[in-house]
């Protein structure tokens, strides 16, 4: 259903144009340790020609820009940026993890996707995280071989480059290999993330040696090198990504998972996993159709299951479609946004899992008919109870309120997102992760990368024993994700906007709030990214960042019945936007995670 088509396309163009003014005048993000000469400096917005890159890290964005300057395309730049993030953001991403890749092809004006999610070992079953019929304590599961899934990131790079790239993997790994060998400058965010993981890291000698130099936390402004990762990247460059899925590197991964190399003096219980050489050898990415949602005359494309991002963001947008959010007060807008999120998460928990194992009603979840049947639950003067029961998308009943609900399971919040665009109009929105900050905390000795703990995204036990849980573990199954790499096209199938964010389950609400901020609230992209966030995930309380927690809007929402808890930081989005005059605008965070890095090939005012 497309309402407000002409008006909102015009309004979006106005918001985009406004972003140029903001970008020209916006100051850079806070300094991250006094970058020496030659080191890229972070800035939250850039406008110009020739292509664009936005990520959380200046070195990584510079790697992508280097590729674009040398004639590479958006896919090439995305792989180079991701590889560099494996060096500078090793607690959030790397070749020990997985992710989702969304690509817009300018020649065919179509959107394609790659599911590069980690998979459970073939030996896994619904009792993967049970001992004696009881779930393993979550705090113990996350730091274990048991939580490690088969990495999908290297295979994603290969699939994307084989299908759409124009440069070899060896060429694209050079900036990251150089960065790992020569080192990067430690900033306050990296030190803080290391400090948060210090106790875990100290229990694994290979991890401590890499990230706690001389047994101490890295000093802000110092240079951290990773020669082991440089050598690993060099091997991938020579042999291709098969080097990680078979051969010596694969053997090292299997050995590390099956017998985690724990310091003998450590008191930590570290359970082994059962990942095998066959699990690595048989891993495959999946090319699949994106989700598509029509919203205000635009087409919003994102990831289909195994990620819940596309269906959940899409359902929430469909719920909001019937309300002109541009005319609402801030409190009324946030009320609608929160309630739409609550409903969409209720349905996500019941219906979304790995479609290779579960019958996911993807088409029905994204139907406007179903959204309308759920939207009528929302009242302006009251708040829906949480946890809210799911509806039945296959048999929608208007305004029906079920009687059984399941709370949202925990997902690690340390992930990273990058967006790229090139001079030909191709666009990539790519979210990748090793799960929580620091992943499993287990570094593969001699290889320089952390292993994921992605399997903790499975439900350990059914959320409600009386209701089928689509997210229980299974052999070769992909755990449900919330990653929502998104590309928005206009009525002529040309790119308008691409964005995404880290943040576990808050990814969905961050992408939804940023999209509605640009499309409905007329915010320039950099302002929509910087706006204080709310996140409701079918829970009793909604999380608020300080800008909303301390603001005048919170009492207004509490008067309606909302309950809140404070979250100091939600997500860390990046995006690119095609301006009406053909220039690219890249945008990133001003402050979250120390500020992001937006760059273009040829800056223009």
Pairwise CA distance, residues 162 & 488, whole Å: 24
What three-state secondary structure class fits 125?
coil
How much is the pLDDT for 441?
98
Pairwise CA distance, residues 507 & 338, whole Å: 14
Short-list 337, 342, 158, CA closest to 239: 158
Mean pLDDT score, 350-359: 97
Token pair of 278 as six digits: 């066959």
Whether 362 contacts 304, CB under 8 Å: yes
What percent of the chain is predicted at pLDDT more than 70? 92
DSSP string, 148-212: PPBP-HHHHHHHHHHHH-SS-HHHHHHHHHHHHHH-EE--HHHHHHHHHTHHHHHTSHHHHHHHS
Identify the DSSP state of 118. Answer: -
Helix (H) or strand (E) holding 518: helix 506-519
How much is the pLDDT for 39?
66
Given CA atoms 193, 195, 197, 203 in this order, what sign does their dihedral have? positive
Q: What's the pLDDT tens digit per position in 241-279?
A: 999 999 999 999 999 999 999 999 999 999 999 999 999
Whether 505 contacts 436, CB under 8 Å: no
Give the pLDDT band of residue 464 (cuts 50, 70, 90).
Answer: confident
Pairwise CA distance, residues 353 & 21, whole Å: 43
* CA 55 to chain centroid: 11
Helix (H) or strand (E) holding 58: helix 58-69
* 347 CB-side CA count, 13 A: 33
How much is the pLDDT for 73?
98
CB atoms within 10 A of CB 272: 14
Whether 458 contacts 128, CB under 8 Å: yes
The residues assigned a catalytic role are 415
Q: What's the pLDDT tens digit per position in 75-126?
A: 999 999 999 999 999 999 999 999 999 999 999 999 999 999 999 999 999 9
Give φ, ψ of 597 to 5 degrees.
-130, 110
Cβ contacts of 373 within 8 Å, gap of 6 or more = 391, 396, 397, 398, 399, 400
Its pTM stands at 0.94
Cβ contacts of 602 within 8 Å, gap of 6 or more = 48, 49, 50
Q: Which residue has the higher pLDDT, 16 or 149?
A: 149
Mean pLDDT score, 291-308: 98
How much is the pLDDT for 388?
94
pLDDT for residue 1 is more than 90: no
The CATH class, in words, for 5-29+40-287+410-603 is alpha beta
How does 547-567 read in b/e, with b if 16+ C-beta sit within 10 Å? ebbeeebbebbeebebebeeb
* CA 227 to chain centroid: 27
Identify the DSSP state of 461. Answer: S
Question: CA end-to-end span of the chain, whole Å?
Answer: 37
564 beta partners: 542
How much is the pLDDT for 270?
97
């Amino acid at each position: 259903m497309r309402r407000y088509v002409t008006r909102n396309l015009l309004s979006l163009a106005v918001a985009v144009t406004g972003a140029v003014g903001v970008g020209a005048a916006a100051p850079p993000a806070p300094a991250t340790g006094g970058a020496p000469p030659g080191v890229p400096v972070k800035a939250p917005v850039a406008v110009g020609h020739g292509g664009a890159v936005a990520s959380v890290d200046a070195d990584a964005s510079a790697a992508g820009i280097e590729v674009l300057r040398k004639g590479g395309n958006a896919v090439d730049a995305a792989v180079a940026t991701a590889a560099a993030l494996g060096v500078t953001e090793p607690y959030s991403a790397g070749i020990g993890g997985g992710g989702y890749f969304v690509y817009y092809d300018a020649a065919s004006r179509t959107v394609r996707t790659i599911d590069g999610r980690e998979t459970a070992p073939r030996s896994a079953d619904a009792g993967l995280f049970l001992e004696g019929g009881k779930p393993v304590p979550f705090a113990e599961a996350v730091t274990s071989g048991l939580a490690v899934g088969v990495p999908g990131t290297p295979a994603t790079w290969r699939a994307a480059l084989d299908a759409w790239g124009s440069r070899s993997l060896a060429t694209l790994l050079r900036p990251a290999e150089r960065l790992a060998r020569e080192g990067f400058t430690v900033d306050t965010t990296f030190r803080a993330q290391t400090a948060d993981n210090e106790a875990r890291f100290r229990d694994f000698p290979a991890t401590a040696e890499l990230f706690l130099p001389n047994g101490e936390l890295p000093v802000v402004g110092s240079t951290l090198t990773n020669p082991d990762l440089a050598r690993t990247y060099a091997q991938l460059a020579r042999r291709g990504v098969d080097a990680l899925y078979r051969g010596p590197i694969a053997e090292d991964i299997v050995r590390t998972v099956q017998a985690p190399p724990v310091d003998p003096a450590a008191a930590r219980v570290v359970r082994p996993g059962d990942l095998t050489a066959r699990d690595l050898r048989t891993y495959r990415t999946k090319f699949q159709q994106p989700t598509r949602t029509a919203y205000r005359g635009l087409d919003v494309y994102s990831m289909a299951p195994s990620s819940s991002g596309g269906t959940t963001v899409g359902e929430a947008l469909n719920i909001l479609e019937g309300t002109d959010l541009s005319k609402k007060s801030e409190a009324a807008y946030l009320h609608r946004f929160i309630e739409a999120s609550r409903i969409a998460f209720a349905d996500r928990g019941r219906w979304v899992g790995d479609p290779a194992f579960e019958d996911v009603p993807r088409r029905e979840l994204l139907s406007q008919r179903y959204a309308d049947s759920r939207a009528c639950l929302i009242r302006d003067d009251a708040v829906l109870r949480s946890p809210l029961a799911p509806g039945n998308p296959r048999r929608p009943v208007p305004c029906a309120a079920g009687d059984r609900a399941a709370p949202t399971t925990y997902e690690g919040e340390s992930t990273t997102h990058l967006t790229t665009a090139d001079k030909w109009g191709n666009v990539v929105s790519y979210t990748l992760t090793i799960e929580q900050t620091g992943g499993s905390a287990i570094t593969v000795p001699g290889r320089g990368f952390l292993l994921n703990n992605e399997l903790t995204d499975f439900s350990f036990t059914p959320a409600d024993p009386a209701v089928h849980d689509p997210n229980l573990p299974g052999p070769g199954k992909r755990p449900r994700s919330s990653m929502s790499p998104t590309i928005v096209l206009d009525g002529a199938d040309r790119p308008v906007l691409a964005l995404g964010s880290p943040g576990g389950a808050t990814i969905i609400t961050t992408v939804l709030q940023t999209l509605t901020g640009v499309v409905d609230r007329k915010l320039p992209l950099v302002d929509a990214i910087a706006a204080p966030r709310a996140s409701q995930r079918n829970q009793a309380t909604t999380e608020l960042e300080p800008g909303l927690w301390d603001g005048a809007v919170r009492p207004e929402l509490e008067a309606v019945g909302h309950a809140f808890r404070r979250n100091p930081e939600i997500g860390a989005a990046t995006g690119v936007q095609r301006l009406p005059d053909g220039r690219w605008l890249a945008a990133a965070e001003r402050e979250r995670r120390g500020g992001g890095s937006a760059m273009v090939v040829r800056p223009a005012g």
